[in-house]
Amino acid sequence: MTVVRPSPLWHPFTQHGLEAGMVRIRRAEGAWLECDDGRRILDAISSWWVITHGHRHPAIMQAIKDQADQLDQVIFAGFTHEPAEQVARGLIEIAPHGLAHVFLSDSGSTAVEVALKMALGYWRNRAVPRTKIVALEHAYHGDTVGAMSAGARGVFNAPYDPMLFEVRRIAFPVAGGEQHTLDALEAECKGGTIAAFICEPLILGAGGMLIYDAATLADMHRICAKYDVLFIADEVMTGFGRTGTTFACEQAGIAPDIMCVAKGLTGGALPLAATLCRREIFEAHVSTDRARMFFHSSSFTANPLACAAAATNLKIWKSEPVLARITDLADHQSNAVARLQRDQRLSNVRQLGTIAAFDIAGSANGYLADIALQLRRACLARGVLARPLGATVYVMPPYCVTADELDGAYAAISDAISEVTA
Ligand X SMILES: *Cc1c(COP(=O)(O)O)cnc(C)c1O
Applying CB under 6 A, among 108, 173, 256, 397 the residue interacting with ligand X is 108
Which is nearer to ligand X, 237 or 412 (by Cβ)? 237
Which is nearer to ligand X, 99 or 148 (by Cβ)? 148
Residue nearest to ligand X (CB): 108
Query: Is the distance from CB of 157 to CB of 147 less than 8 angstroms?
Result: no
What is the maximal distance between C-alpha atoms in the chain? Answer: 69
By CB under 6 A, tell whether 259 contacts ligand X: no
Applying CB under 6 A, among 113, 188, 200, 250 the residue interacting with ligand X is 200
By CB under 6 A, tell whether 237 contacts ligand X: yes
| 58-68 helix and 304-319 helix, angle to the nearest 10 degrees | 150
CA separation for the pair 133, 119 (Å, rounded): 9
How far apart are CB 302 and ligand X at their closest, in Å?
Answer: 16
CA separation for the pair 251, 282 (Å, rounded): 26
How far apart are CB 310 and ligand X at their closest, in Å?
Answer: 14
Query: Is the distance from CB of 203 to CB of 209 less than 8 angstroms?
Result: yes
- The region of 101-109, 153-161, 281-289, 326-334 touching ligand X under the rule CB under 6 A is 101-109
How far apart are CB 204 and ligand X at their closest, in Å?
Answer: 8
Which is nearer to ligand X, 155 or 291 (by Cβ)? 155
Interface of this chain with ligand X, residues 138 to 197, rule: CB under 6 A: 140-142
- The region of 107-115, 222-230, 297-305, 384-392 touching ligand X under the rule CB under 6 A is 107-115
Which is nearer to ligand X, 206 or 330 (by Cβ)? 206
Cα angle 253, 398, 360 (rounded to 5 degrees) comes to 85
Which is nearer to ligand X, 236 or 322 (by Cβ)? 236
Alpha helices (H) in 286-342, listed in sequence order: 304-319, 322-340
How many residues make contact with ligand X (CB under 6 A)? 14
Among candidate residues 224, 253, 230, 250, the one with its CA nearest the CA of residue 239: 250
Applying CB under 6 A, among 107, 149, 251, 354 the residue interacting with ligand X is 107
Residue 356: strand, helix, or coil: strand
| 403-421 helix and 370-381 helix, angle to the nearest 10 degrees | 130
Among candidate residues 137, 128, 148, 141, the one with its CA nearest the CA of residue 194: 128
By CB under 6 A, tell whether 88 contacts ligand X: no
Q: Which residues bind ligand X (CB under 6 A)?
A: 107-109, 112, 140-142, 200, 205-206, 234, 236-237, 262
